[in-house]
Structures are given as structure tokens and as C-alpha cells.
């Protein structure tokens, strides 16, 4: 059996939406995400909450703003959603996968779930393609706790990033937009800038003008040129809090490139730990005390 593409187009989804194996997940995030879901969502979609289900939000200086939940908690979340190892999970959000859809995809891949896809173009594309919407309260029959033993996709911690950023054999990729990377603006964390030595490849470059993932050939060419002959184990991808970085990991997997390491803590952790920082304006590194 050929490997299932991590991306599914709206037209393909419409053809399988009534399958008993399909479980549709709304992964919108943000202040009004749950309210927006309750007002209107794709018919049959179950809601997953970034902060409550896909992270354990505590001290951003330890693991960032969205550290991974415990394996036990994630197993319980999957059970609550009615997801078993046999389920065909399709996830969408309203930000072309850059909200929490790609994060949930990565987490499921990391526990070796096989049938998992992100809806290309997200909520808006599905509606445009004719998928019905609803404001009904969606319920699911809980399954037995999903069997999870460990996270099986590679991660990097803050110490590994510290070493990698000074090593020519490594690449540290920051997927935030250029203004955040350059230190010109910072809407979420305490200080603006980037990890010295990191390169900036905004996740938005994975998408075309209509908000769909670019063709596989284009993505493969782009990332193969960036990574070159480096071992995927030596490539680390991060963002602000380990969520949007998964959009680029998804793009790489879609393009047939081995999934690099995810630095979950990302800028939100790095910038709160008195590590060296850099901006475009200063072109220098400087210390920052989280207190």
C-alpha cells in the first residue's frame, strides 16, 4: 500500500467524508476559537483545543508557550475524540494549517498513527468546495485509551539548539514571518529577535496565493536546496512556540523529505532563558534576563 499523503484536497475529502473510518477534527486556535467553532464548523467536525488538548501550558521559560502534553494526557485526548489506531483522521483549521492542524498532525505522526491528513486550504476551501457546515453540538463515543509509549519523531531541546546554531553541520530554521525574525515586531513573546545562527524561512512560503500548499515538486526543490546533503538529524525547525513550525515539517513530509527535528520550546522558551539573541537592526547578539 502506498504511503498516504499528509495533505488531502477538498475534492478528495468530499469523496470519502461519509466513510465510517473518517474522523474530522476542527483545530482552530486563538482567543475565540471554541466560540467560532460553535457558531459554524464543517459538519461532523469535533473540536480540539490547542491549549487544553495539544499542550500543557505552564511556565513559558520551561518548554515554551505550548509544550507537548504528557503521553498519558494525549492518549486521553485521543480517546475523548473517539480516535483509535484504525481511524482516518482529517484535520483542518482556518489558517491554512498553520494554526493547530499541523501541530495535531505532527503529534499523531509522532505516536505512529498512520492515517492522518491535513485538509488543504482549510475551512474556507472546504466550504467553497461545497462541504456543508453546522452549528450542532458534535459528540463522539470515547474509545479505549490510545496506546502510546513515546514520541517517535525527533525533537531538539534548548541545549541542542545552543550547540547546533554554532555548528556548520547543522541548520536551525525559524519559520516565523520576517518582521518577527528581524526583531521589528513581536506580538506574542516578551522580546523581539531571533536565535543567532538561525535562518529565516517563513512558513507562508509553503503556500500559493490561494492558501493551498505549493506543488510537491516546488516544495521538494526548495527544501532540498536549503538542506543540501545534511543529515535530517542535523536540521532543527522552530517558530514561536512549536506550533507553526509543524506547518513546515508537514510541507517537508508532503515533499518527500525526511521530517527534521522540532524544537518545541522555540522562541518563547529561548528568549526567556538569558540566551544570546539577535536582530536585523543591531546585527549583534545580546543577553536578555527573563526577569
pLDDT in tens, 41-72: 999 999 999 999 999 988 999 999 999 999 99
Which one, of 119, 116, 153, lies nearest residue 4 by Cα? 116
HSE-up of 221 (CA within 13 Å, CB side)? 6
Percent of the chain with pLDDT over 70: 96
Confidence of residue 3 (pLDDT cuts 50, 70, 90): confident
With cell 514520541, the residue in question is 151
Domains of the chain, with CATH numbers? 7-134 (3.40.250.10), 158-286 (3.40.250.10)
Rounded to 10 degrees, the C-alpha dihedral 267/270/276/278 comes to: 10
Confidence of residue 140 (pLDDT cuts 50, 70, 90): confident
In degrees, rounded to 5, the angle at the alpha carbon of residue 52 between the alpha carbons of residues 51 and 58 is 65
Confidence of residue 2 (pLDDT cuts 50, 70, 90): low
| For range 203-232, the mean pLDDT | 95
Residues in the chain: 291
pLDDT at 1 > cutoff 60: no
pLDDT at 201 > cutoff 70: yes
pLDDT at 155 > cutoff 90: yes
pLDDT at 244 > cutoff 80: yes
Report pLDDT for 125: 96
Query: What would the grid cell of residue 231 be?
Result: 543529515
Q: Which of 171, 237, 239, 245 is catalytic?
A: 239
More confident residue, 104 or 284: 104
With cell 473510518, the residue in question is 21
Is 246 among the residues known to form the active site?
no
pLDDT at 281 > cutoff 80: no
Report pLDDT for 282: 63
pLDDT at 207 > cutoff 90: yes
Amino acid at each position: 500500500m502506498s504511503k498516504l499523503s499528509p495533505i488531502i484536497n477538498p475534492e478528495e475529502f468530499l469523496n470519502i467524508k461519509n466513510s465510517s473510518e473518517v474522523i474530522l477534527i476542527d483545530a482552530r486556535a486563538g482567543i475565540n476559537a471554541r466560540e467560532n467553532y460553535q457558531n459554524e464548523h464543517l459538519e461532523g467536525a469535533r473540536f480540539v483545543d490547542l491549549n487544553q488538548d495539544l499542550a500543557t501550558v505552564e511556565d513559558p521559560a520551561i518548554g515554551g508557550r505550548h509544550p507537548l502534553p504528557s503521553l498519558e494526557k494525549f492518549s486521553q485526548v485521543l480517546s475523548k475524540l473517539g480516535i483509535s489506531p484504525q481511524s482516518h483522521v482529517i484535520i483542518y483549521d482556518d489558517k491554512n494549517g498553520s494554526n493547530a492542524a499541523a501541530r495535531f498532525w505532527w503529534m499523531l505522526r509522532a505516536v505512529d498513527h498512520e492515517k492522518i491528513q491535513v485538509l488543504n486550504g482549510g475551512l474556507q476551501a472546504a466550504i467553497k468546495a461545497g462541504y456543508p457546515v453546522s452549528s450542532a453540538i458534535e459528540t463522539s463515543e470515547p474509545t479505549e485509551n490510545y496506546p502510546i509509549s513515546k514520541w517517535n519523531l525527533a525533537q531538539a531541546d534548548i541545549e541542542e539548539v545552543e550547540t547546533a546554531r554554532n555548528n556548520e553541520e547543522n541548520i536551525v530554521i525559524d519559520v516565523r514571518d520576517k518582521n518577527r525574525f528581524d526583531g521589528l515586531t513581536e506580538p506574542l513573546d516578551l522580546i523581539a529577535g531571533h536565535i543567532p545562527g538561525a535562518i529565516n524561512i517563513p512558513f507562508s512560503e509553503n503556500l500559493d496565493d490561494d492558501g493551498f500548499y505549493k506543488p510537491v515538486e516546488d516544495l521538494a526543490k526548495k527544501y532540498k536546496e536549503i538542506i543540501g546533503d545534511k543529515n535530517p538529524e542535523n536540521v532543527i525547525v522552530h517558530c514561536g512556540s512549536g506550533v507553526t513550525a509543524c506547518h513546515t515539517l508537514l510541507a517537508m513530509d508532503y515533499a518527500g523529505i525526511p521530517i527534521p527535528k522540532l524544537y518545541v520550546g522555540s522562541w518563547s522558551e529561548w528568549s526567556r532563558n538569558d540566551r544570546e539573541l539577535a536582530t536585523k537592526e543591531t546585527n549583534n547578539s545580546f543577553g536578555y534576563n527573563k526577569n
